[in-house]
Chains A and B, each alone.
Chain A
Amino acid sequence: GQQVMQIPQYQHVQEGEDFTTYCNSSTTLSNIQWYKQRPGGHPVFLIQLVKSGEVKKQKRLTFQFGEAKKNSSLHITATQTTDVGTYFCAGPVNSSASKIIFGSGTRLSIRP
């Protein structure tokens, strides 16, 4: 079946360093979403990308959607302790907008 894979599984960085997580789908996605889950919390929606090659920014976060609409990345510039958490990508399965599957997530921890 369709799969969404994410790497790396864990990333431990010094505060102020950059961080990137990568997401790859086995099939083309109509859109891709990113969520953040703080430790002990629940996933919270960050952004959705729809167009091929789309790039969106939210302050220090930059999101990209690949030209083939099968991969995506999230880049955080100059990490802060508030960035700690697990970042998930997610996308709809085939043409079913209702069935949204998640990547395995990248857990970010930061050394102050």
Chain B
Amino acid sequence: ETGVTQTPRHLVMGMTNKKSLKCEQHLGHNAMYWYKQSAKKPLELMFVYSLEERVENNSVPSRFSPECPNSSHLFLHLHTLQPEDSALYLCASSQDRQGANVLTFGAGSRLTVL
């Protein structure tokens, strides 16, 4: 247990489904991240929230919609995904300050889009 919990661990969905990934951190961190990991692009930054404000949206398609209701929780809402969106989605948190922004990752949510 890393202090960052992701659910579900595995998810299979059709292209017309709507689902959500959840991330919760118990470390008192103030920044949370979504990364996508696939064979083509090992660790691709998607979104960053710092103090519950989105500070980065790395040109991610609108079929991925993040939500950060408080500094401990982060969601990734999924709708009308494509098969190429199948990947491991990793959540991470950090204490966001200059020069000491070390990431703690969750175990990931393995997504398969049929």
Give the B-binding residues of A (Cβ under 8 A): 30-31, 33, 35, 41-45, 48, 50, 86, 88, 90, 92, 96-102, 104-105
Contact = CB atoms under 8 A, between A and B. Distances in A.
A75 B42 CA distance: 21
Contacts, number: 62
A33 B102 contact: yes
B57 to A, nearest CB: 11
Interface residues of B, number: 26
A88 B98 contact: no
B112 to A, nearest CB: 16
B102 A98 contact: no
B109 to A, nearest CB: 11
A42 B55 contact: no
Interface in B59-114: 90, 94, 96-108
A50 B99 contact: yes
Contact of B98 (A90, A97, A100, A101): A97
The listed residue with most A CB atoms (<10 A of its CB), out of B35, B43, B97, B107, is B43
A105 B56 contact: no
B42 A98 contact: no
B90 to A, nearest CB: 6
A44 B105 contact: yes
